[in-house]
Homo-oligomer: A and B are copies of this chain.
Amino acid sequence: MTLRSTLDFLLYDWLGAEALTARTRFADHSRETFDAVLDTCERIAREKYAPFNRTVDTEEPHFDGEKVILPQATYEARKAYAESGLLSAAQDYEIGGMQLPYTVEAAANSFFAVASISIGSNLLTSGNANLLMAHGTALQKEVFALNEFNGRWSGTMCLSEPQAGSSLSDVATRAVPDGAGFESDPLGPRYRLTGNKMWISSGDHELTENIVHLVLAKIPGPDGKLVPGTKGISLFIVPKKMVDAQGQLTGVRNDVALAGLNHKLGWRGTTNTLLNFGEGRFPVDGQAGAVGYLVGQPGKGLHCMFHMMNEARIGIGMAATMLGLAGYYASLDYAKNRPQGRPVQGPKEAAGASAVVKDVAQPQVRIIEHADVKRMLLAQKSYGEGALALNLFCAKLVDEQHTGDAAAADEARLLLEVLTPIAKSWPSEFCLEANSLAIQIHGGYGYTRDFPVEQYWRDNRLNMIHEGTHGIQAMDLLGRKVLMEGGRGLQLLAGRINATIERAIQVPALAAHANALGAALQQVGAATKAAWATGQPADALANAVPYMQAFGHTVLAWVWLDLALATLADDAALAQAASVGRMGAMRYFFHYELPKIGAWLHVVSTRDATCASFPEDAF
């Protein structure tokens, strides 16, 4: 199946995205306008992204002492993306946006991700500007957000520091008021920032006229000390080049300096940087310190940042998913065309030597005819299409949260809280495994750089690390999300899963799977209780990752069962290859994947302390 036909099924037949047009915000839209956006993105991705995916891998960003050098293709890809209007897809018409549902925006962005994940970092710019629209002043929106939406400037998120990656409590970047009258700068209360920010994607380049850094930093207390923990963190706009209240560059460089480019395993099209803020290399008004404008309230920086967290994490989940699907499409194509070997023949001899008899007088068959190659393709299909469905489901919850009635919006919010760690972590882990299978199908050729699959695998390895590591997603899930509001989020999800089970159990072809899912859900519920039976986080969370793996597989089994129901609902389409394929992928997931949860939950349920209690000197 093509990506487009898969998206069509998921958006329209499964998620009923067309119904969103009944809502006031999306009233001017129709399936036709949604499709037009998808068409445009598919075309741009095909023309400006896909042909250059290897280029941006081999022509890694480098710094010539003055500027960061990127391939020409990166400039052209960015220009085409900005011209598509996707940067402000979700925004109001009155500021030039499309008022597009996030569901459709996410689907549209999938074309770029599958074509070249690292050539663009547009989601960062959108996310940055969206955050300013939610928390900025009117002028901050007009000067900064709007110039990001229109493509003139780009944006970054500066959270991590060399000594504070996962642990944001330990952010040490300082922000001090910039002299008398600092509060009355039209662009916002004006501070001077000093500190180092690590892992900043697109932190320096010449792709745009200016770069808008959103920076987490701490304002020292009266004693001059930083407040420990995340409560002391504030959020600042720090432009690379100073601008006036009309959004014009003043010609003055802000005190933000590129300290180094990170040389990565993959995802090489996107510059990743260490930035020094306020080291004095570019003094403003004769003074060291990067000029930053406070966004929102002091001490509420993480709150502002986390406002965008669900969408950012869905974005990572989508990135991992699309890399998984890219490898699937590449290996499917290879498997259909590569002749190698012959099918095994039977029956085996009564005793003795090899049972693997092959008729070498026959020509070789294409490798897609081998059962094990089909297994590796089906695993990729079930991972990739399942992950895509889950992420679009979460995207739809975002729309529900923003445009649904109060009850539906609240329910969507809470479901998102529980599902986001899965939407981010599950594709990061299993679509990476899919990429490994894509290499395996290619054999020796897959290990060469003449085929794209090794790059997908390298690119995808990042997704378990950035935007909250796998371990952090797992702590978030088992330590916060399944507990919050008295466990109501987990109950909501269970309610949704049970609703699918109740429908599926009445369908003969699905009844056994419905029962298997019911049993899995019970196991997850029991394991959650058992993990917390002592009330000690150290006991419960010692096996948070295996818990998340089992939770994720259960969620994906639910997604596949629900997709099967939607497939069976269309009698006319049932004989079509796409329907046959979805039903097969669903069966694959239930037969080969869901049974894995037993081993993962075993250690959770017993609060196994083998790892937690292992003494350091015994490693």
Give the interface of A toward B (CB within 8 A). Answer: 1, 160, 163-167, 169-170, 198-199, 228-230, 262-266, 332, 336, 339-348, 351-358, 360-361, 364, 368-375, 377-378, 381, 432, 436, 439-440, 443-444, 446-450, 454, 457-458, 461-462, 464-466, 469-471, 474-475, 479-480, 483-486, 532, 534-546, 577-578, 580-581, 584, 587-588, 591-593, 595-596, 598-599, 602-603, 606, 608, 610-612, 614-619
Question: Which of A164, A167, A448: most chain B Cβ within 10 A?
Answer: A167
Contact (A361, B537) CB under 8 Å given A447-B461, A598-B599, A610-B378: no
User: In the assembled complex, which residues on chain B have CB atoms less than 8 Å from the CB atom of A577?
Assistant: 615, 617-618
Contacts of A471 in B (CB 8 A): 370, 372-373, 440
Option from B164, B464, B475, B603 in Cβ contact (under 8 Å) with A356: B475
Taking CB atoms, residues of chain B closer than 8 Å to A474 are: 372
Q: Tell me whether B538 and A371 are in contact (CB under 8 A).
A: yes
Point out the residues of chain B lying under 8 angstroms from A532, CB to CB: 348, 355
Q: What's the minimum C-beta distance from A560 to chain B, rounded to whole angstroms?
A: 13
Q: A228-B361, A439-B465, A596-B599 are in contact. List 20 more A-B contacts (CB 8 A).
A: A163-B339, A165-B443, A166-B341, A169-B342, A262-B444, A265-B447, A265-B449, A344-B479, A348-B537, A351-B483, A352-B486, A374-B612, A377-B619, A440-B470, A440-B471, A447-B465, A577-B617, A588-B610, A591-B603, A592-B608
Which residue of the partner chain, among B229, B346, B580, contacts A535 with CB atoms under 8 Å?
A: B346
What's the nearest-Cβ distance from chain B to residue A1, in Å? 7
Known: A167-B364, A228-B360, A619-B381. A443 touches B469 (CB 8 A): yes
Is there contact, CB below 8 Å, between B580 and A618? yes
Q: How far is the CB of A167 from chain B (nearest CB, A)?
A: 4
**Contact (Cβ within 8 A) B374 A199:** no
Bound form: Cα–Cα A228–B543 in Å: 55
Decide if B537 touches A612 in the complex (CB within 8 Å). Answer: no
Q: Flag if B444 contacts A198 (CB, 8 Å).
A: yes
Q: Which residues of B contact A591 (CB under 8 A)?
A: 602-603, 606, 608, 610
A598 to B344, CA, bound (A): 26
A416 to chain B, nearest CB (A): 17
Residues of B within 8 A of A353 (CB): 480, 484
Q: Please name all residues of chain B whose beta carbon is closer than 8 Å to the beta carbon of A355 when the two chains form the complex.
A: 479-480, 483, 532, 537, 540
> Which of B165, B378, B616 contacts A368 (CB under 8 A)?
B616
| Least CB distance, A354 to chain B, in whole angstroms | 4
A345: chain B residues within 8 A (beta carbon)? 537-538
Complex: A427 Cα to B470 Cα, angstroms = 24
- Nearest B residue (CB) for A592: B603
Least Cβ distance of A169 to chain B in Å?
A: 5
Q: How far is the CB of A229 from chain B (nearest CB, A)?
A: 3
Contact A444 B199 (CB under 8 A): yes
Contact between A371 and B542 (Cβ–Cβ < 8 Å)? yes
A161 to B523, CA, bound (A): 50
A365 to B103, CA, bound (A): 41
B535/A348 in contact, CB under 8 A: yes
A606 to B587, CA, bound (A): 14
Whether B598 and A595, one on each chain, are in contact in the complex, defined by CB atoms closer than 8 angstroms, is yes
Q: Known contacts A170-B364, A540-B355, A587-B610; decide if A347 and B535 are in contact (CB<8 Å).
A: yes
A610→B584 contact, CB < 8 A: yes
Residues of B within 8 A of A595 (CB): 598-599, 602
Q: Which 10 A-B pairs have the closest CB atoms?
A: A229-B360, A581-B618, A595-B599, A371-B612, A375-B611, A356-B479, A346-B536, A344-B537, A265-B454, A371-B542
Q: Which residues of B contact A432 (CB under 8 A)?
A: 436
The contact sample of 28 A-B pairs, CB cut-off 8 A, is: A164-B340, A165-B340, A166-B341, A166-B443, A170-B360, A228-B360, A262-B448, A264-B448, A265-B439, A344-B475, A344-B479, A345-B538, A346-B536, A346-B537, A346-B539, A347-B537, A348-B540, A351-B483, A352-B483, A352-B486, A354-B484, A355-B537, A372-B545, A443-B469, A447-B461, A458-B458, A577-B617, A592-B610
- How close is A353's CB to chain B, nearest CB, in angstroms? 6
Give min CB distance, A260 to chain B, whole Å: 10
A227 to B470: give the CA distance in the assembly, Å: 54
- A347, B593: Cα distance in complex, Å: 35
User: A375: which B residues are within 8 A, CB to CB?
Assistant: 542-543, 545, 611
Docked complex Cα distance between A357 and B444 (Å): 49
In the complex, are the beta carbons of A443 and B461 less than 8 A apart? Answer: no
Nearest-neighbour CB distance to chain B for A520, whole angstroms, equals 12
Cα–Cα, bound, A164→B611 (Å): 46
Query: Using Cβ atoms and an 8 Å threshold, which residues of chain B touch A464?
Result: 440
Contact B584 A614 (CB under 8 A): yes
Enumerate chain B residues within 8 angstroms of A546, measured Cβ to Cβ. Answer: 592
Q: Which residues of B have CB within 8 Å of A536? A: 346-348
